[in-house]
A = this chain, B = another copy of it.
Amino acid sequence: MHKKLFIPGPVNVSEDVLQKMATPMIGHRTKAASILQKNISEKMMQLMYTKKQIMLSTSSGSGLMEGAVRSCTRKKAAIFSIGAFGDRWYKMAISNNVPADKFSSGWGKPTTPNMVDEVLSTGKYDLITITHNETSTGVMNPIEEISEVIKKYPEVIFCLDTVSSMGGTKIEVDKLGVDICITSTQKCLGLPPGMAICSISEKAIKSAKKVENRGFYFDLLEMYKYIQNKDHQYPSTPSLSHMFALDYKLDKILEEGLENRFKRHLEMAKYVRSWAKEKFELFADEKYASNTLTTVKNIRNISVSDLNNKLAKHGYMISNGYGDLKEKTFRIAHMADTTLDQIKELLSLIDKILNI
Q: A224: CB under 8 A from chain B?
A: no
Q: List 25 A-B contacts (CB under 8 A).
A: A1-B26, A5-B26, A10-B237, A10-B240, A12-B24, A25-B193, A30-B317, A58-B58, A59-B63, A59-B217, A59-B236, A61-B236, A63-B236, A66-B215, A66-B217, A70-B215, A91-B216, A95-B214, A95-B215, A95-B216, A97-B213, A194-B238, A194-B239, A194-B241, A194-B242
Task: Encode A223-259 as 1/0 by CB contact (under 8 A) with B.
Answer: 0000000000001111111100000000000000000
Q: Copies per complex?
A: 2
Q: How far is the CB of A264 from chain B (nearest CB, A)?
A: 20
Q: A240–B97 Cα gap in the complex (Å)?
A: 31
Task: Encode A1-41 as 1/0 by CB contact (under 8 A) with B.
Answer: 11101010111110000110111111110101000000000
- Answer whether A237 and B24 are a contact pair too, CB < 8 Å, given A63-B59, A95-B215, A194-B194: no
Q: Which residues of B contact A104 (CB under 8 A)?
A: none
Q: Which residues of B contact A319 (CB under 8 A)?
A: 27
Q: Which residues of B contact A7 (CB under 8 A)?
A: 27
Q: A96: CB under 8 A from chain B?
A: yes
> Main SS of the interface on chain A?
loop
Q: Which residues of B contact A96 (CB under 8 A)?
A: 213, 215-216
8 Å CB contact of A63 from B88, B193, B217:
B217
**Are A12 and B26 closer than 8 Å at their CB atoms?**
no
Q: A60: CB under 8 A from chain B?
A: yes
Q: A21–B21 Cα gap in the complex (Å)?
A: 6
Q: A16–B245 Cα gap in the complex (Å)?
A: 18
